[in-house]
Structure 1
Amino acid sequence: MTTPADLDDRYGRRADPRRRRAVWIAAVAAAAAVVGWFGWHTVANPDNGVRADGTSFHLEERAVTVDFQLTAPLRSRVACAIEALDEDYGVVGFKVVEYPASDSPVRAYSERVPTLAAATTGLVNSCWVT
């Protein structure tokens, strides 16, 4: 009488523990890669719908005026952190400004940031829905 073990030996069908282990490792690695990609995508690209694009800056002796365009969800209050930097990229001025809700998704603003020392640039660091 032929047993299943005899048939496996005859036709080369053996449960190879190394192959099974390799399949499990590959499956776990693929799952970890997918979870990592989704996690990084969530952290790197928060979906709050707020974007600030600097259009220009104007240097003064003790201040910087930053002009920028703000894109935000309709009827959402927004706050932005605006910075003035020196030639070594050190922060010499900082200001957080809150903007009221608007029916327009795109708005233009100009903000003056007082500085403690001479600045070489001004920028919008980040914006968020409040």
Structure 2
Amino acid sequence: MSTASTRLPEGRYGRSSDERADRRLKVVGIALGAALLATVGWFGYHYVAGTDISAQVIGFQAEDDRVKVHLEVHKDSGTSGYCTVRSQAENGAEVGRADFRFDGSATRIDQVVTLRTTSRGTTAELVGCHED
């Protein structure tokens, strides 16, 4: 006795509904993946390119009730905004925070600003810069 095969002959009756469903799922998955990739790229670009003011701390000098901070600011011509600087004590507590405004047509500003502190600060940290 031989056992009869329950499989249909290949190519004789067209594609099965499972194969059509698999293809549909692949197409939907590729479309959703491309949309997600485009969204992440768009947000990433605007996060990086959206800032018209950037700065860095070149150096600082701590005194008893103030910290002198040497900032180098880069901005677009005609853009105005501010940079936030903070200082911390040796134990990590914040002892001073201030916003320093930058206006004008210069694209590079090299300036020493004075941050008043409640006690001796041991750091000078640039928190961030924002355009108006």
Same fold (TM over 0.5): yes
Match of 2:131 in 1: 129
Give, in whole Å, the separation in 1 of the partners of 2:45 and 2:89: 32
Runs of 4+ in 1 over 4 A off after TM superposition: 11-15
TM-score (norm 2): 0.76
Alignment equivalent of 1:48, drawn from 25, 48, 51: 51
Equivalent pairs: percent with the same residue? 20
Q: Which has the larger radius of gyration?
A: 2
Give, in whole Å, the separation in 2 of the partners of 1:87 and 1:71: 30
Across the two proteins, how many residue pairs are aligned to each other? 121
Deviation track 1:5-43 (CA, whole Å, cap 9, x = no partner) reads: xxx943854562122212212321221122123223323
* Structure 1 unaligned blocks of 5 or more: 1-7
Alignment equivalent of 1:82, drawn from 85, 90, 98: 85
Q: Alpha carbons of 1:114 and 1:37: their partners in 2 closer, same or farther (altered >3 Å)? A: same
What is the RMSD computed on CA atoms of the aligned residues? 2.3
Alignment equivalent of 2:32, drawn from 28, 32, 44: 28
Offset at 1:73? 1.0
* Structure 2 unaligned blocks of 5 or more: 1-9
Deviation track 1:100-129 (CA, whole Å, cap 9, x = no partner) reads: 313x21111111111123321112222222
SS in structure 1 opposite 2:22? helix
Q: Alpha carbons of 1:108 and 1:39: their partners in 2 closer, same or farther (altered >3 Å)? A: same
